[in-house]
A = this chain, B = another copy of it.
């Protein structure tokens, strides 16, 4: 059918990415409702909460309660985000999550300072501690991510060489702990990537580290989300973060709006139409997107929930 990957794995991040960005408080029960709706779509990984400092991200203060209340469905990995020991311990204490250790570097020091109040050296040290902490608790660390990998609203373009250097740092950290990083996620946190820069970056990282599986975390702030996903696909990337209805965005990224992640159902639509499987039931996912819109109480950016999928229009003609 094509030379694209046969199957693409999607990490749904809407429940975590989405609600931290909303201005008003979202009721815990409604967050749980969305997670449960997403569990019925065929998605195999859902990031359900962010265990970060409630002072910095008040919308995530109820993370423990959200995790206590959603219904676990077999075959789905329910993950969460944390940035330090305290967050990790909160996630661990829930006893209801599929803990995946991961370390995270950031390609822009200015953004790192604003987002996490650390410089490059402090962040490397913090990741070293997180890795050791995970190890003590028997949680494997096989994943790493690099935020702002394509550019930064505060610093401008990020050179590929800097990203390659950060990968070296990540692999050195892992080696210190006899761990092996298998998956690297490149995050276009502030939507600087274009299809061309995606292809160049993926090509350079593949050349530098052919052993790593690469994933993309894309934001649609400048309308390039789906085109950037396509560029990744064409380079063989088969792992994408996405957010239902295009929920989300980072409150520290200095955007004036439309800062959401690439929209899960639009991405799934494109993949299915191009013969790439995802295991997702698109109509159910669109239902979940409509629920997300109902929960936040304002239109969300996804297109397929408005334009409609094609299968129902095809059916009568077959």
The residues of B that contact A308 with a CB separation of less than 8 Å are 222, 255-256
A251 CB to closest chain B CB (Å) equals 15
> Do residues B303 and A221 form an inter-chain contact, with CB atoms below 8 A?
yes
Complex Cα distance, B155 from A257, in Å, reads 38
Q: How far is the CB of A17 from chain B (nearest CB, A)?
A: 16
Among A151, A222, A266, A273, which residue has the most Cβ atoms of chain B within 10 A?
A222
Q: Which of B151, B259, B273 contacts A310 (CB 8 A)?
A: B151
Indicate if A191 sits at the interface (CB-CB under 8 A).
Answer: yes
A101 to chain B, nearest CB (A): 33
One of A50-58, A69-77, A165-173, A224-232 contacting the partner:
A224-232
Considering only CB atoms, which chain B residue lies closest to A219 in the complex? B307
Are B258 and A306 in touch, CB under 8 angstroms? Answer: yes
Bound: A313/B148 CA distance, A? 14
Partner of A269, one of B156, B222, B310, B318: B222
Is the pair B256, A306 in contact by a Cβ cutoff of 8 Å?
yes
Give the distance to chain B from A270, nearest Cβ to Cβ, in Å.
Answer: 6
CB of A153 within 8 Å of the partner chain: yes
* Cα of A71 to Cα of B270 in the assembled complex, Å: 42
Contact A258–B4 (Cβ < 8 Å)? no
